[in-house]
Amino acid sequence: MIALSASARVYLACGVTDMRKGAVGLAMLVQQSLSEDPFDGSVYAFRGRRSGLIKLIWHDGLGLCMLTKRLEQGQFHWPSATTTGRISLSPAQLVALLDGCEWRAPVPRRRPLLAG
């Protein structure tokens, strides 16, 4: 698995992406569609029409890396298109997404009212 620092930037490409694309094709989408630099160390996530498969790309300083994850059951929760075409996530939200969990509105933890 990839190790992310707390300050890592993670972006989801909203909408549907052609999952036949490899790392270079997805990097070109980052440049052309999202107007971002795919070599800046940020993680970019893409989902196809079938909601059980996602691809992540990032540049680790030496080369372009790609991770593909397919869920055996269920689907990845994904936003519809936005004006910018992408949304930003925290590294913790990315971990929840990769685990197949709901990352958009996590259940808030209840704070105890009394100590005893």
CB 57 within 8 A of CB 37: no
pLDDT given for residue 29 in this prediction: 93
For 12-33, what is the mean pLDDT?
92
For 102-110, what is the mean pLDDT?
64
pLDDT band (50, 70, 90) for residue 108: low
Give CA–CA dist 13/81, Å, rounded. Answer: 8
Give CA–CA dist 81/74, Å, rounded. Answer: 21
Q: Which residues contact 84 (CB under 8 A, 6 or more apart)?
A: 34
Residue 68: φ, ψ to 5°: -115, 135
pLDDT band (50, 70, 90) for residue 6: confident
